Amino acid sequence: MKKSVATCFFVLSIPVFSCAQILSGATGAYPFCGNANDIVGPNNGQVVGATLTADRFGIPNHAYYFNGQPNCYINLGTSNMLKPLKGGVSVWARPDGFSSNGSGYMLNPVILTKNQAGSSCYEGYAIGLVTANGFPEFHTTITQPFCNQINGIYGIVNYQNWYHIVLTWNNDTLKQYINGVLQQTLTKGFVNAYLSGDSVMVGNSANVQNNRFFLGAIDDLVIYDHMLSYSEVTALYNNTELCPSNGIGEPETGSVHLFPNPNNGEFSLDVSFNGSCELLNSLGQVVFRKQVSAGRNTISSNGLAGGIYLLRLTDEKEKVKHMKVMIRN
């Protein structure tokens, strides 16, 4: 099995999970750090048409962009490791609009694999975007062949915003979480079925009649072999980075020294350049910004909730460095 060193940061109001813990039971994990490699198993993705883009924190080449057109997807392959009977799928997605390209049922798929070769009731599991009365909704779906369909619906979706989506299930129950909050618990009552030899597809439904595409960005996809607990979902939502710690494609700034860390919201930042410093929360939202100059800078971010934040430093040449900051109130 391939090994990878990864950094995971978590909000302190929840139990802190190490990377080993957060990936426990993961049968496929795709942080999209410059490529579509699987960091826990052998099932590297094949990228067709999708292009690297910035993730929810603005880190370049740490997510994939899908243009909503044919021949734009990632194929994760046909391994049964990615098709659990009891399992979970965690993913970040940023829909930028609704693509009408393709044919058949108007689902813009984030991830989908089939349970049979027909043109209806074929979702072994699926997460995707549909429109209802002109408004976008996330659907999280598992279907038993012959149309016993269990479908979680989340109807408050704004384009160009990032969402953390979790679909998790066992034989009895399907649960849908959006941004760490349980939205629906549905009775399932059947064992998942999968189509032998069918690929797990990201950004494309790949059905002969229903062939649709996703428009937007996708990141941090993890597939599990068990139904996820609330604490696992919360840890995934608050995790700020699955990528290797140095960050593929991330240029280094000059020297940086931050102390103390952890801190109470006030800390010193010694840098060898002029530029800016920003603190980002787990949603990638900038919650603090200040200009810094070469030498010692005092950063006072009082008022921020306790937690772990991503510090983004940008120098005058627009080179970027990311660090984690732990604030304890």
Q: Which CATH number goes with the domain that contains 311?
A: 2.60.40.3080
What is the predicted pLDDT for the residue at 181? 95
Q: Verify that 78 and 128 share a domain, yes or no.
A: yes
Instruction: For residue 246, give every residue at least 6 positions away whose Cβ sits within 8 Å of its Cβ, in sequence order, or none.
Output: none
Same domain, 227 and 290: no
Q: Are residues 219 and 270 in the same domain?
A: no
At 171-204, the pLDDT tens digits run 999 999 999 999 999 999 999 999 999 999 999 9
Beta pairing partners, 182: 177
Specify if 39 maps to a domain: yes
Give me the percent of the chain exceeding a pLDDT of 90.
Answer: 58
- Asked if residue 245 is part of any domain, the answer here is no
Residue ranges in 199-238 assigned as alpha helix (H): 230-238
Q: Tell me, what's the pLDDT at 7? A: 40
* Residue 200: closest CA among 53, 32, 81: 81
Same domain, 142 and 90: yes
Radius of gyration of the chain from its Cα atoms, rounded to whole angstroms? 20
**204 and 82 share a domain?**
yes
Contact predicate 326/263, CB 8 Å: yes
Same domain, 233 and 264: no
**H or E, element range at 177:** strand 173-178
Instruction: Region of 116 please: left (phi>0), alpha (psi -120 to 50) or beta.
Output: beta
78 in a domain, yes or no? yes
Residue 250 covered by a domain: no
Given a cut of 90, whether residue 300 has pLDDT beyond it is yes
Average pLDDT of the chain to the nearest whole number = 87
How many residues belong to the chain? 329
Q: Tell me which of 146 and 14 has the higher pLDDT.
A: 146
Per-residue pLDDT at 9: 39
Per-residue pLDDT tens over the stretch 105-115: 888 999 999 99
What CA–CA distance (Å, rounded) separates 256 from 254?
Answer: 7
Asked if the model's pLDDT at residue 249 lies above 50, the reply is no
155 plus 213 within the same structural domain: yes
Picking from 204, 238, 272, the residue at the C-terminal end of a domain is 238
Spatial contact of 132 and 155, defined as CB atoms under 8 Å apart: yes
Check whether 14 has a pLDDT greater than 80: no
Q: 221 pLDDT band (50/70/90 cuts)? A: very high
Is 65 inside any structural domain? yes
pLDDT, tens digit, 9 for 90 and up, residues 110-155: 999 999 988 788 899 999 999 988 899 999 999 987 788 888 889 8
Q: Between 58 and 96, whose confidence is greater? A: 96
* 233 and 269 part of one domain: no
Task: Let me know: does 167 contact 88? Beta carbons within 8 Å.
Answer: yes
Lowest mean pLDDT among 24-33, 119-128, 149-158, 316-325: 316-325
From 238, 270, 299, give the residue that closes a domain.
238
Q: Is residue 2 part of a domain?
A: no
**Whole-number Cα distances in Å, 113 to 48, 121, 194, 232, 239:** 17, 12, 8, 23, 26
Domain edge (last residue) among 209, 238, 267: 238
Alpha helix segments (H runs only) across 264-318: none
Q: Is residue 71 part of a domain?
A: yes
Nearest of 107, 238, 110 to residue 179 by alpha carbon: 238
Do 230 and 263 reside in the same domain of the chain? no
pLDDT at 253: 57
CA-CA-CA-CA torsion sign (229, 233, 238, 239): positive
Domain count, the chain: 2
- Based on the fold, state whether residues 227 and 266 are members of the same structural domain: no
Q: Is residue 121 part of a domain?
A: yes
Which residue from 95, 88, 137, 105 is spatially nearest to 236, judged by alpha carbons?
88
pLDDT at residue 138 in the model: 94
Instruction: Say yes or no: 191 and 284 in one domain.
Output: no
Residue 62 structural domain: 19-238
Whole-model pTM: value is 0.78
- Domain identity same for 161 and 43: yes
pLDDT at 309: 87
